[in-house]
Amino acid sequence: MDLRQLVRDVPDFPKPGILFRDLTPLMRNPEGWQEVIRQLSALCDRLQPHLIVGIESRGFIVGTALATAVRLGFVPVRKPGKLPGAVTGIDYALEYGTDRLEIGSDALSGGPRVLVIDDLLATGGTAAACAQLVHAAGGSLCGFGFVAELAALEGRRRLPEEQPVESLIIYP
């Protein structure tokens, strides 16, 4: 199945000059969505994670579906102030400014193998920050999985070299 055919291109969104890759038609298509989860499940079979970590917010959609399919737990990585209790956080640089990601301080206790999941790999800044956050929270990163990747933005270069990165759809 060609998953790319189920992704809608939206020109000039969210601002002029940007071509947005809208994954919601793919998610709406039962066969397409099942294929996404099947392919990411195969990644889990290879990497053997103990937990799936999803990055806010669309990584929650992909990550929880995957975690359910492979019978693993799911851990959210959120923007500041969204998680109750003690958190571990990391600040990271954006093109213009900084942002922060947080995870529950006890979410990765015991050093579990963690697969980071998100919908899209673009510049790689958020995924790279998530990798650092997984280590800071006590987890052992075993790889990354994305539904789509914008290869021209070279996001893979920002991710740890030793970690496998799998994207189901790669746009040049």
49-171 CATH, one of 3.40.50.620, 3.10.290.10, 3.40.50.2020, 3.30.70.20: 3.40.50.2020
95 is catalytic: yes
Task: Give residue 94's pLDDT band: very low, low, confident or very high (50, 70, 90).
Answer: confident
pLDDT, tens digit, 9 for 90 and up, residues 100-143? 999 999 999 999 999 999 999 999 999 999 999 999 999 999 99
Task: Give residue 90's pLDDT band: very low, low, confident or very high (50, 70, 90).
Answer: very high
Q: Which of 28, 46, 56, 58 is catalytic?
A: 58
pLDDT, tens digit, 9 for 90 and up, residues 25-73? 999 999 999 999 999 999 999 999 999 999 999 999 999 999 999 999 9
Sign of the CA dihedral with 119 first, then 150, 34, and 163 last: negative
> CA-CA distances (angstroms) from residue 17 to 10, 13, 20, 124?
11, 8, 10, 20
Domain spans, the chain? 49-171
Distance CA 13, CA 19 (A): 6
102 is catalytic: no
Q: Which of 38, 46, 71, 95 is catalytic?
A: 95
